[in-house]
Copies of this chain bind each other. A is one copy, B any other.
Amino acid sequence: MNRSAPGGPPRYHHGDLRRALLTAARALLEERGPAALGLREIARRVGVSAPAAYHHFENLDAIAVALAEEGHAEMAERLDAALAAGAGLLAPMGEAYVAFARANPGLYRLMYGEGFHAASAGSEAVAALRRRTWATLTAGLAARVPAEAVPAAALFLWSLTHGLALLMIDGQTDAADPEAAIRAVLRLAGTGLAKPG
């Protein structure tokens, strides 16, 4: 343990620079979006020279990929917890999905490739985590719809939550009560927009 004592003078060796870089990168991502994710700015925030980052990451892309992996892992956890709360219920899974995106808008965008294509397509770990998310989604739906209908239902639910999350993140909706709007939309996922009569 050679980390600086909190409040103490900075030491030459940071102790856990990798972690510190990722934390600063996430903050930057949330403050200014994926397009502003830059190696020099990340290093600046940690209080370290830019080249120091190269002892922990191959390049800037690698930082983006690590962030995307982190994000997918956290989201998979949340969805697993929601599934445990009630397989076959749309509200818990849908709300968990949208809530994650709303709590981490910059990260969520990065996870879907904005700014860094490598972050959504270049990593086997990301691909594996996405498969896990997909499996959670289908497991939840298997309790509700016939087996042959599960793939379409999963794409339906994913599209709905993905789109809703992005619209809310972007401030495209002017809903006075966003949580209520989210619940209303998810309720429609269950009933559909049935024709009258």
Contacts and interface: CB of A to CB of B under 8 A. Distances in A.
Contact of A146 (B90, B161, B191, B196): B196
Interface stretch (A7-15, A76-84, A108-116): A108-116
Most buried by B among A35, A112, A155, A195: A155
A34 to B, nearest CB: 9
Nearest to A162: B163
A46 to B, nearest CB: 25
A192 B190 contact: yes
Contact of A188 (B88, B114, B156, B167): B156
Interface in A160-174: 160-167, 170, 172-173
B155 A175 contact: yes
B160 A167 contact: no
A164 to B, nearest CB: 4
A43 interface: no
Contact of A167 (B152, B158, B185, B192): B158
Interface of A: 35, 88, 90, 112-115, 120, 130, 141, 144-146, 152-153, 155-167, 170, 172-173, 175, 181, 184-185, 188-196
Q: From DSSP, what is the main secondary structure of chain A's interface residues? A: helix
B152 A181 contact: yes
A144 B35 contact: no
Contacts of A192: 188-194
A170 B112 contact: yes
A36 B189 CA distance: 37
Given A159-B164, A159-B167, A160-B163, A114 B114 contact: yes
A195 to B, nearest CB: 6
Given A190-B194, A191-B194, 20 more contacts: A35-B35, A35-B115, A88-B195, A120-B170, A141-B193, A146-B196, A152-B185, A153-B193, A155-B173, A156-B160, A158-B163, A159-B159, A159-B164, A159-B185, A162-B163, A163-B163, A188-B192, A189-B193, A191-B192, A192-B193
